[in-house]
Amino acid sequence: MQRILLTRPATAQRTMIDTWLDSYIMRAHPLLGRSGAVCPYVTAARRHGVIRVRAATDTPTGDLVPRDRQHTSLAQARTWLHAVLRTAVDDFEHHPWPPHARQLHCLVVLLQGLAPDHWGELDRVHAEVKADVMRRGLMISRFHPRCPATAVHNAFFAVNRSPAPLIVIRRMARDDHLFADDDQQLGAYQRHFPDSERWDTPSSCAAAHPQTL
- Whole-number pLDDT of residue 123: 97
Task: Name the DSSP class of 101.
Answer: T
Question: CA 39, CA 206: separation in Å to the nearest integer?
Answer: 19
- Whole-number pLDDT of residue 57: 81
Task: Name the DSSP class of 24.
Answer: I
Q: Residue 38 corresponds to which amino acid?
A: V
Adjacent-strand bridge partners of 150: 158
Q: Which residues of the chain form beta strands (DSSP E)?
A: 5-7, 51-57, 106-111, 138-143, 150-151, 154-158, 166-171
- Whole-number pLDDT of residue 72: 64
Q: Per the confidence metrics, is the pTM higher than 0.95?
A: no
Tell me the average confidence (pLDDT) per consecutive run of 10 residues in the chain, 213 residues long.
84 97 96 92 92 82 46 83 96 95 96 91 95 92 96 93 97 81 83 70 36 44
Would you say 182 and 202 are in contact if contact means Cβ atoms under 8 Å apart? yes
Bridge-based pairing of strands 5-7 and 51-57 is antiparallel
* Strand order through the sheet with 5-7: 5-7, 51-57, 106-111, 166-171, 138-143
Tell me the CA distances in angstroms from 143 to 83, 123, 147, 164, 202, one per residue in order: 17, 9, 6, 8, 23
- Whole-number pLDDT of residue 198: 54
- Residue 6, sorted as left (phi over 0), alpha (psi -120 to 50) or beta, turns out to be beta
Number of neighbours of residue 24 by Cβ within 10 angstroms? 16
Question: CA 108, CA 8: separation in Å to the nearest integer?
Answer: 11
Task: Name the DSSP class of 30.
Answer: T
